């Protein structure tokens, strides 16, 4: 289950994804009268065919952004590059209205406080995303650091198990050599019979297979 910082960040990303999708669909399929009403009824000459064409291109970019945000909402910490890009984009979009206010005559269409308000809202959203992302990253780092002792313990346990297996193999080999010496000593230095040596080899193989299986 998602932790609270992850849940907050996922909710924000999905909300912005839906808003971007709705805005993109509106920009792509909206006609001139609807665009005029949405832009607070500017003069008809200001809403040109070129403006409508550029608006539809921006709608396609908005739909692409919606897909990216929806995919990033599945795991925001892993897709941190997309979230950082969104934060940087909001900061840039907070500056563009101010640049338009300085370089164009947009005051004749919209009041200045409305333009400054858009910039402030975008900066606030960027700050909220930044705080939520850093909180999720800090929680993930703490969880990873807590899992490290368990991983070290499991590695130590596997290392001890391999050492015990090696000792068991060495002990089995020593017993095999000792048994061969005893058989040779009992036969007066003569070579053991084929049947006795075969039985001993079979017993040695059976013991090794049993230990490796265990």
DSSP per residue, 19-44? HHHHHHHHHHH--HHHHHHHTT---G
Across 100-121, b (16+ Cβ under 10 Å) vs e yields: ebeeeebeeebeeeebeebbee
Q: Residue 62: its pLDDT value, please?
A: 93
Each residue's pLDDT tens digit, 67-78 = 999 999 888 888
**Side-chain half-sphere exposure of 44, counting CA atoms within 13 A:** 1
**Given this model, what pLDDT does residue 8 score?**
82
> Residue 181 has what pLDDT?
65
Model confidence band, residue 194 (pLDDT cutoffs 50, 70, 90): very low
pLDDT tens-digit map of 132-188: 888 887 776 776 665 555 555 555 556 666 677 777 777 776 776 677 666 666 665
- Residue 33 reports pLDDT greater than 90: no
Q: What is the pLDDT of residue 213?
A: 45
- Count how many Cα atoms sit within 13 Å of the Cα of residue 113 in the half-sphere of its side chain: 0
pLDDT digits 0-9 by tens, 107-135: 777 788 888 998 999 999 999 999 888 88
Nearest CA to 2 out of 74, 72, 80 is that of: 74
């Amino acid at each position: 289950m998602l932790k609270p910082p992850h849940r907050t960040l996922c909710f924000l990303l999905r909300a912005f994804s839906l808003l971007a999708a709705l805005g993109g669909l509106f920009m792509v399929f909206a006609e001139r009268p609807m665009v005029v009403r949405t832009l607070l009824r500017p003069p008809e000459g200001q809403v040109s065919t070129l403006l409508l064409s550029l608006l539809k291109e921006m709608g396609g970019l908005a739909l692409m952004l919606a897909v990216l945000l929806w995919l990033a909402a599945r795991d925001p910490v892993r897709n941190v590059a997309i979230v950082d890009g969104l934060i940087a984009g909001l900061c840039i979009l907070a500056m563009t209205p101010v640049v338009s206010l300085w370089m164009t005559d947009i005051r004749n269409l919209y009041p200045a406080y409305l333009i400054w308000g858009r910039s402030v809202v975008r900066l606030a959203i960027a700050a909220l995303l930044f705080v939520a992302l850093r909180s999720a990253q800090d929680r993930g780092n703490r969880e990873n650091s807590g899992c490290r002792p368990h991983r070290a313990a499991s590695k130590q346990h596997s290392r001890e198990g391999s050492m015990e297996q090696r000792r068991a193999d060495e002990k089995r080999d020593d017993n095999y050599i000792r048994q061969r010496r005893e058989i040779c000593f009992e036969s007066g230095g003569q070579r053991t019979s084929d049947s006795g040596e075969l039985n001993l080899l079979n017993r040695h193989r059976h013991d090794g297979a049993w230990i490796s299986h265990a």
